[in-house]
Amino acid sequence: MPQKTRETPMMEQYLEYKKQYPDAFLLYRVGDFYEMFYDDAVKGSQILELTLTARNKKAGENIPMCGVPHHAIEGYIDTLVDKGYKVAVCDQLENPADAEGKMVKRGVTRVVTPGTIMDKSDQSKENNYITAITATKNVFGLAYADLSTGEVKVTSVENQLDLTNELQNLDTKETVVSGSFPQKYLDQLRKYGILISKIEELEENYTFDFSQIIDESEVSTVKLLISYLIKTQMRSLDHLKPAQSYETSSYLLMDHSAQSNLELFKNIRTNKKSGTLLWLLDETKTAMGSRLLKQWLARPLISVSKLKRRQHFVQVFLDNYFQRSSFQDYLTKVYDLERLAGRVAYGTVNGRDLIQLRTSLEQVPEIKSILLDIGDDELTTFVEKIDEVSDIRELIDKAIVEEAPISVTNGGLIKEGYDEQLDKYLDASKNGKQWLASLKAKEQELTGINNLKIGYNKVFGYYIEVSHANTDKVPEDRYQRKQTLVNAERYITPELKDKESLILEAEEKSKSLEYHLFDQIRKKVKDQIRRIQALANILSQLDVLQSFSVISEEYHYVAPEFIDDHELQIVNGRHPVVEKVLSNNSYIPNDVNFDNQTDILLITGPNMSGKSTYMRQMALTVIMAQIGCFVPAESAKMPIFDHIFTRIGAADDLISGDSTFMVEMREANDALKNATANSLIIFDEIGRGTATYDGMALAQAIIEYIDKHVNAMTMFSTHYHELTELEEQLPGLRNVHVDASEENGDLVFLHKVLPGPADKSYGIHVAKLAGLPDDVLSRATKILSSLEETSVHTTTSDSIKEPAASEPMPVVKPEPKVEPVADDSEIATEDDDAQLSLFPEVTQKVKKISTKETQVIKEISNQDLMGMTPMEAMNLIYQWQKKLK
Ligand SMILES: Nc1ncnc2c1ncn2[C@@H]1O[C@H](COP(=O)(O)OP(=O)(O)OP(=O)(O)O)[C@@H](O)[C@H]1O
């Protein structure tokens, strides 16, 4: 075996650092480049499209290597982090010239990770949450922080599903675990694209405010998070707010699929904000307000008193239009105080940021006086708490120039009159500049060279510049030539050099003094970070509440009344987003009524009539009510809901690898198991994802289960008309339908919800609207009428009574040259059975139905129905029908 060659000292140093950051790309500074080696180089070169080379090939080292120029490093880091990787930057800590032949000292100066990267745009309305999770016997701890706003929260959840939900709702890119965290949970999180960062040792030496957390295991979770932040950030974390504990059950719960089904934050089709509830409600004037609105929407309240308080403020803003609009004007001038506070803590704040902070603080007294002027007691009490942080405003006002530069090391940022010594230096350098101007005039006169100039460069300081055409006039005895350019010559004189040192010294000293003074100011501001954060908190709440009032006014929303009973009445309710999108008031309002006898509204109606819209409207109304906003209705009375469950549309969970039907069943299962009488369940066409009879049987069984065991307010839409007959058997179920009518063979959607079941399904009319070929439509019409004739022999009511038995789908002999129509009455497969085993009571019921049916369907499939006349087929079907009974 060939003996392993010893690494060079540099590679030894590299490997030492790489060992400390095994899960990050290590960018290692060598000369003007940041290099990657070994696997990092192979993978990095692919991701960043860099050329892969080898180090010391000739010397036999042959180590894979690729690099990026030092000045372009930020772009490459961004690309890696955007793709979900971590990067550790290893810099040279001394000038290589000073290393005296030894290895240059290096050290990792920062670690950039997806969860800790801060948005570069100042007005970002997004949070970037880094999370940490711990597992004890039966509880998971979850802590999260947003580094740019300083928010730190922690909670405990009881099962893996809730943990995944919280992580998805937070939209976290990265989660921190300790080495002992059970591996089996991590694989699933990876599937959701969450980067898992492991740390083995906790940091001990830091101060952090844990006083508001009681639970010891939650303290440990926060410690894990803070340790990771210390290890990666390597800078002050003073702006992190005291950690706060929250309970998921103190909010209206919605799992991640409900949030996405209801399009609260992302439009399902476009993945963008447009067309979502957030998009509708966001009339906030500040980025912090916008972020808070998103947080409120993700966690609606269940406390009536808190909700009434929010409603009250919305009403106050509605009643005081003029004060509200001047409040908005001032609010627009408030910058992102949370992020400014973050930058102050990090030490990355510059003069411009401080001017933004001062401008923001200047608005506060005005805001206070406008709001106090309204004269509302509750608002007054709230507003009086506002600390104007005027000492900081005055400090910045006195110290920092209005047009402050970005750089804090080049001077020009401290105002005259702030510091006596600085004024002296500035004076000297200003006088020096005047002296240079007079020198120029004097030399022009003495030499007669009118275009003689005085300039400065870093190599030899101040000089006199004369164009070639005039060099014969230069006084050789006084002028000493320094540089020849294409068009001119540059000279120095002893007089110029004498003064130069005075001018430059003053400039140098003033710059370093300015930096020192700036640093002092920054520290003074940093000491007041908590006050700035408290101000940001109050302003962002007021911002969201004014935003609610703007929307409520524009769309004529009303304050919902919260009641204790198991009842709900919404009069003339609307879907807020569809209403906004539809022009000229064309949205048809509808009532929703649950009296105390009703649990389930069974909604039928043609495709496209508005069933989903009606159900979503209800869910969004509940969410809006429970964030304290007014609701799109003429009046609304409702209880407080504890949980919203949804099964809407085909939000396939492609990541988990489950089929549409499996997702449908999982969501149904979740609702049946976890819903209480105070929950809202929205089921849109449950059962349609499988064979017709399985689907119908499941739908019926689920409805019965809800009626018997759950009693949650449930809206259930279906195309299985047979189910409408359940109204006779289940006292808690009421039929409603969305109306449509036929005019001259065309379907007219009335979008009006009326009592009772729908009479027809109009599927073929909708197909016509979709532009299907005439041949297909007329063939479908014929098949339909044959089927309808057949059903004269059947009694649909029997088909849903226990023991349920539905008639098999009769198949009609095709006409020549027409493609056979797909038969969707498949036999339940073993897979289906596995899926059905999710909740036992429902499965039992389904099995009763499908065993009988399965036999008959098997018989049918052995017959050549296609070869029969419709009459022969119908006769056969009639016999089967009898068998089933
Ligand atoms: N109340 C209403 N007023 C005006 N337009 C409406 C109303 N309800 C629904 N619509 C319009 O009708 C369209 C179809 O509605 P929706 O998707 O709710 O129908 P659906 O009955 O659930 O259809 P399907 O059974 O095919 O899923 C919506 O996109 C919307 O534009």
- Per run of 10 residues, the mean pLDDT along the chain (length 885 residues) is 64 91 93 93 94 80 89 91 92 82 87 82 74 90 91 91 87 91 86 88 87 90 94 85 90 88 89 92 96 94 96 96 95 94 87 95 97 95 94 96 88 90 84 88 92 88 92 90 91 87 83 92 93 95 98 96 95 95 88 93 89 95 98 97 85 53 81 93 82 78 91 93 89 92 76 86 65 71 67 41 37 36 36 42 54 59 61 63 59
Q: Kindly state the DSSP code that residue 555 receives in the 8-state scheme.
A: T
- Ligand 1 and 281: CB distance under 6 A: no
Cβ-based neighbours of 854, under 8 Å, separated by 6 or more = 827, 828
- Ligand 1 and 588: CB distance under 6 A: yes
pLDDT given at position 770? 67
Kindly give the number of the ligand 1 atom that is closest to the alpha carbon of 616: 18
Distance 741 CA to ligand 1 centre (A): 15
CATH superfamily, domain 122-250, is MutS, connector domain (3.30.420.110)
Q: Residue 436 and residue 433: Cα distance in Å, rounded?
A: 5
570 in Cβ contact with 591 (< 8 Å) = yes
611 appears as a binding residue in the annotation: yes
Q: What is the pTM of this model?
A: 0.79
Q: Residue 145 and residue 130: Cα distance in Å, rounded?
A: 6
Radius of gyration of the chain (CA): 37
pLDDT given at position 798? 37
Reading the block at residue 772, the tokens are 């299907």
Give the CATH number of domain 9-112. 3.40.1170.10
| Ligand 1 pocket mutation pick from 269, 608, 750, 752 by most atoms within 8 angstroms of CB | 608
pLDDT given at position 772? 72
Task: For residue 511, give Cα distances in angstroms to 355, 403, 409, 417, 424.
Answer: 19, 17, 7, 16, 12
Distance 749 CA to ligand 1 centre (A): 9
Q: Residue 854 and residue 828: Cα distance in Å, rounded?
A: 7
β-pairing verdict for 106-112 and 87-92: antiparallel
pLDDT given at position 24? 94
β-pairing verdict for 643-647 and 679-684: parallel
- Ligand 1 and 604: CB distance under 6 A: no
| Ligand 1 pocket mutation pick from 574, 609, 720 by most atoms within 8 angstroms of CB | 609
Give the CATH number of domain 282-389+528-555. 1.10.1420.10
Q: How far is CA 251 from the centre of its chain?
A: 19
Distance 624 CA to ligand 1 centre (A): 21
Kindly give the number of the ligand 1 atom that is closest to the alpha carbon of 752: 1
Bond before 755 cis per omega within 30 degrees: no
Cβ-based neighbours of 193, under 8 Å, separated by 6 or more = 84, 173, 655
Dmax over CA atoms of the chain, in Å, equals 128
Q: Kindly state the DSSP code that residue 826 receives in the 8-state scheme.
A: P
Mean pLDDT for the chain overall? 84
Residue indicated by tokens 């009574």: 801
pLDDT digit string (tens) for 687-735?
Answer: 776 666 777 888 888 999 999 999 999 999 998 888 898 999 999 999 9
SS3 149: coil
Distance 726 CA to ligand 1 centre (A): 25
103 appears as a binding residue in the annotation: no
Which CATH code of 1.20.120.430, 1.10.1420.10, 1.25.40.10, 1.10.357.20 fits the domain covering 420-523?
A: 1.10.1420.10
67 appears as a binding residue in the annotation: no
Distance 253 CA to ligand 1 centre (A): 26
pLDDT digit string (tens) for 667-684?
Answer: 888 889 889 999 999 999
- Ligand 1 and 682: CB distance under 6 A: no
- Ligand 1 and 612: CB distance under 6 A: yes
Q: Residue 416 and residue 423: Cα distance in Å, rounded?
A: 6
pLDDT given at position 784? 66
Residue indicated by tokens 């059950």: 249
Distance 765 CA to ligand 1 centre (A): 15
| Ligand 1 pocket mutation pick from 261, 574, 578, 754 by most atoms within 8 angstroms of CB | 578
Q: Whose CA is nearest to atom 18 of ligand 1?
A: 610
Distance 116 CA to ligand 1 centre (A): 42
Q: Residue 179 and residue 314: Cα distance in Å, rounded?
A: 48
Q: How far is CA 533 from the centre of its chain?
A: 22
Kindly give the number of the ligand 1 atom that is closest to the alpha carbon of 586: 4
608 appears as a binding residue in the annotation: yes
> 561-770: which CATH architecture?
3-Layer(aba) Sandwich (3.40)
- Ligand 1 and 608: CB distance under 6 A: yes
